[in-house]
Amino acid sequence: MNNDKKTEDGGDEMMSSKQGNSGTSRRDVLAGLSAGTALLAMPWVARAQGETIRIGFPTPLTGPFAAEAKDQVKSAELAVKLVNDKGGIAGRKVELLVRDDKLNAGEAATRTLELIEKDKVHAIVGALSSAVQLAVNEVTRARGVIYVSISQSDTINEVKDFSRFTFHEALNPHMTTAAVAKHTFKQGTKVAYLVADYAYGHEMLRGFKRAEAALGATGVGEILHPFGAADYSTFMPRLRSMRPDILCICNFGRDQANAIKQAVDFGMKQQMQIVVPVLLHNQRLAIGPEAFEGVIGGANYYWGLEESIPSARAFNDAFRAANGGAVPTDYGAYGFTGVYSLLLAMEKAGGTDTDKVIAALEELQYDIAKGPQHYRKCDHQSVQSVLVLESKKKADMGGEADFFRVVATEPASESILRSCSELGLPA
């Protein structure tokens, strides 16, 4: 804001007009002078209060996850608003700079460079796809900028991509598969896997296989499908011939929606339980209650938690108030927890000094939406609860958004993460 009011410095101009005009009283002149001086002084006053804290927020507003992205923006803005309403951080207001990364890693890298170089952000929160998150990470770690990633991925925890400036607020496949398996696999259960052939799919499969071994279940077959496949009919006969008790569908987003729908079309649900690592609010909305009925999967957040967790109720109520009664979704909640945990740390650090904020984040114990959370030191992974949800049938739905029933909540514990040494990191 540039207050170029130099011509309004009161001075000679006003004096001369006063002489020729009886309408301008001395009071007006004084008022004008003080107003002018105040306007002039404002930039200095503003600077003395401290410049705004800018948080970059890349998110895929364009593309297949636009709905999730919009949820994330709303939740992130809520977090910023809550902090600003309390007076900001050390008297400084927080500003969220939302950018469209178009679900494209190259685009995300460019936006991140712009946020850092042009907009001079103090930190970045965001990213939905794993590729985007890794791209943002690469840019931020080279430049020493704090980054809180909210993309579900195992890769970000590993030593190759580790950065002391990066914190991972989201769940990872290892955690979700362990939690879901714990409540669905039993000794001797036969499990068949339908896996998307890309990094995230393989991570999910790996997590399930580990859990399978630990729980004494038996794998009866794995089929890898091309990432982005629309038609799963060619896999159904083979999957059926494996005669599994559980069909574990390891994919995400539209792939998952299509796979579940077509598995149901082929009558698979009559013979086996369908299990997925992550059950998604928006995909359930896209497909409808019938196909999803009875499917069990994991999640980071479900609004139904408000019945048992006070911070969930607080979050839901604040979200409802700001969004006309709507409830936050799973992915939306990441926008909130990612930004809010960062802002809490900044508050503790008293500002945006990078080293202080990192130290604050590493020590932070927070409970803002789903129970206690903290960041593990070696890999900066947020240790948090994992929900296991079952999709309700239409008749059981209490309201429009009552999609899921909470089967279980895996409590927050470092034991459900991979060990530091396994990740290649010092403890």
Partner 1 sequence: MDAELVAMQLFSGVALGAILIMVALGLSIIFGMLGVVNFAHGALFMVGAYAGLWVASLTGSFWWGLLVAPVAIGLFGMAIERVLIRPLYRRSVDDPLLLTFGLGYVLVEAVRILFGSDGIPFPTPPELAGVADLGIGFFPIYRLFVVGVVAAVLILVWLCLEKTRFGLIVRAGARDPLIMRVLGVDIARVWLLVFGLGVGLTALGGVLAAPMRNVNPEMGSLVLAEAFVVTVIGGMGSLVGAVVAGLLVGVAISMTALFAPEMATIVMFALMALVLLVRPQGLFGKPGRA
Partner 2 sequence: MTLSAQSLDAAPRPLRARLAARRVPLSILALSLLPWILPSEALAVNVLVYGLVAVGYNLLFGYTGLLSFGHAAFFGTGAYVTGIAIGRFDAPLFAALAFGVAAGGALAFVIGLLSIRTRGIYFSMVTLALSQLVYYIALQASSWTGGENGLRGFTVSELNLFGWTVDFLDPVEKYYVIMAFTAAALWFVSRILNSPFGSVIEAIRENETRARACGYDVERTKLISFTLSGLICALAGTLFALHLAIVPLDILHYHTSGMIVMMTLLGGAGSFFGPFVGAFAFLLMEDVVSLWTPHWQIVVGSVFILFVLFLPKGIWGTLMAWRAGR
Q: Which residues of this protein are in contact with partner 2, per CB under 8 A?
A: 61-62, 66, 100, 102, 104-106, 109-110, 113-114, 117-118, 130-131, 134-135, 137-139, 142-143, 155, 160-161, 198-200, 227
CA–CA distance, 99 with 114 (Å, rounded to integer): 10
Size of the site for partner 1 (CB under 8 A): 36
**221 in contact with partner 1 (CB under 8 A):** no
Instruction: Considering the complex, state which of residue 195 and residue 344 has its C-beta at the smaller distance from partner 2.
Output: 195
Minimal distance in Å, beta carbon 130 to partner 2?
A: 6
In whole angstroms, the minimum distance from the beta carbon of 135 to partner 2 comes to: 5
Largest CA distance in the chain: 102
Nearest CB to partner 2, comparing residues 228 and 411: 228
Does 25 engage in binding with partner 1 (CB under 8 A)?
A: no
Binding residue (CB under 8 A) for partner 1 from 237, 324, 398, 399? 237
32 binds, among partner 1, partner 2, none (CB under 5 to 8 A by kind): none
Q: Which stretch binds partner 1 (CB under 8 A): 122-130, 218-226, 315-323, 389-397?
A: 218-226
From the CB of 182, what's the least distance to partner 1, in Å? 29
Least distance (Å) between residue 236 CB and partner 1: 7
Distances (CA, A) of 110 to 43, 118, 136, 139, 375: 31, 11, 9, 9, 28
**Closest listed residue to residue 281, CA positions, set 333, 203, 246:** 333
Say whether residue 235 binds partner 1 (CB under 8 A).
Answer: yes
Question: Closer CB to partner 2, residue 40 or residue 66?
Answer: 66
For partner 1, which is the closer residue by CB, 254 or 370? 254
Tell me which of 39, 215, 220, 224 binds partner 1, using CB under 8 A: 224
Structure tokens given for 138: 């690469």
DSSP symbols for 215-251:
HT-EEEEEEEE-TT-S--TTTHHHHHHT--SEEEEE-
CA 191 to chain centre: 30
- b/e burial code for range 380-412 (CB count within 10 A of at least 16 → b): bbbbbbbbbbbbbeeeeeeeebebbbebbbbeb
- What's the closest the beta carbon of residue 410 comes to partner 2, in angstroms? 26
Query: From residue 252 to residue 291, what is the string marking binding to partner 1 with x (rule CB under 8 A)?
Result: --x--xx--xx--xxx--------------xx-xxxx-x-
Taking the C-alpha atoms of residue 19 and residue 3, their distance in angstroms, rounded to an integer, is: 28
If residue 366 lies in a helix (H) or strand (E), which one and from where to where? Answer: strand 365-366
Question: How far is C-alpha 396 from the geometric centre of its chain's CA atoms?
Answer: 29
Q: What's the min distance (Å) between Cβ of 283 and partner 2? A: 19
CA angle 336, 338, 340 (to 5 degrees): 65
Residue type, 398: G
